[in-house]
Amino acid sequence: MSQAGTSASSVEVSIAPAQHPLRIAIFGFGTVGSSVARILVESKPQGLELTHVFNRNVARKRVDWAPAGVVWSEDAESVLASDVDVIVELAGGLDPAGTWVRKALGSGKSVVTANKKLIAFHGIDLERLAQNRGGHLKYGAAVAGGIPVIPGLEQGLAGDRIERIQGILNGTCNFILSKMETGAEYAPVLAEARAKGYAEADPTEDVGGFDARAKLAILMRLALRVQIDPEEIVPRPITEVSAVDFSYARDLGCTIRQVARAEQVDEGKGGHLAATVGPMLVALRSPLAWSKDTENMVIASGRYGGNVVFSGHGAGGHPTAVAVVSDLLALAHGSRRVEIPSAPAHVGAEFEVPHYIRFLVMDRPGIVAAITTALANEQINIRAIVQKPGFPAHALPFVVTVEPCKSSALKRALDSVRTMDCMLVSPLDMQILE
């Protein structure tokens, strides 16, 4: 990602519409690509015409409901060199998708994409290329699928000063964690998510937090007006969360969700940027706790307008396709760039929040005293110690919650605790979102 100078995202402002229907080429005819084609064919949005479909081994992708004039191709270069006006990139990943997008923008074409990783890592450079060559780059489907979060931030909340952004950005993780609320363990729920098509064979991008991290980086640019390297955000996986954690969370009036959050902290001292992604305890009264299955939710907190909640189906072919076609319609009816400046920044601050720590130990005297000492050495105050009955002494789970503290201080304390020979697994630490 380029870190030089400021840049700007775009807001759509109506000007003269296109003189002829925009010729659309879909790159990637999978779940989302076929849904985009369905909408274009069945709804016939004014000003849009599907003319090309590119996919590897494209013969197996042909459908009988597409117009007879659609060109089905497995030659990306020939489609890029054709007379299409807009490339709809739905293949995902950095390459070869990034190469296709750059060639399209470089030739003056516009691009609509749902590729969060490409936009998170290279969006600034691609927007600059589009601006220089007279095209447009739109990515309303890159975050939260069919929920209009990106246009909402670019247009509806442009007059506010967003100070914090937080939300549930990955449908796979939300499906897994909301199912685990009923007492199920992680592994069987992951298997169910795979069976339903919500999780890939290798779910690391989702459960490891990398998918949500890319989406958070995009939201930070649009909401907090900062350009960051996504790799500065270190995600925490949900894989260590177990059914017993949900049981303890309920006793604390909470549930567990994968939350992505970012905000400016210590603004009176010059301001520092904090961002994180991982499983967190959220209060049952929080809107984040209400999000179930594959739903997504984003909460933007503005200085003047307060909290605005975006919620809905963030995954799936049809919801994501709606966002893609909405971007296409914006292009068909004319748009020009309105500068919303953003500046390079680094994630250099920590959240100072309460934490939930779950230990699994072989019980013996002195364990709590040793943990208390390790926390006290880092000036961390204990809020509560909770232990449920009914567990065997040779595998005893119990929970310690602590008052607001910096993650780095807690890490040092837990580094000393995890060396104790009674620890059966590494302690699980989760922020408590208050």
Residues recognised as catalytic? 215
Quote the tokens at residue 177.
């964690």
Torsion of CA 360, 366, 372, 378, to 10 degrees: -90
Question: Position of tokens 């095209």?
Answer: 135
Contact 287, 309 (CB under 8 A): yes
Q: Which residues pair with 226 in a beta bridge?
A: 343
Pair 358, 279: CB distance under 8 Å:
no
Q: What is the DSSP letter of 269?
A: G
b/e code 84-103 from CB counts within 10 Å (16+ = b): bbbbbbbbeeeeebbebbbb
How is residue 347 annotated by DSSP? Answer: B
Contacts of 194 (CB under 8 A, 6+ apart): 200, 201, 203
> Does a cis peptide bond (omega within 30 degrees of 0) precede residue 96?
yes
Beta strands 396-406; 226-227: pairing state: unpaired
- Bridge partners of 8, per DSSP, are 341
- Measuring CA to CA, which residue among 31, 6, 23 is closest to residue 294? 31
Q: How far apart are alpha carbons 324 and 45 in whole angstroms?
A: 12
DSSP for 227-260, please give it.
E--GGGS----STT--HHHHHHHHHTTEEEEEEE
Please, which contacts does 197-200 make with residues 24 or more away whose CB atoms are closer than 8 Å? 198/171, 198/172, 198/294, 198/315, 199/172, 199/175
How is residue 2 annotated by DSSP?
A: -
The secondary structure of residue 395, as a DSSP letter, is G
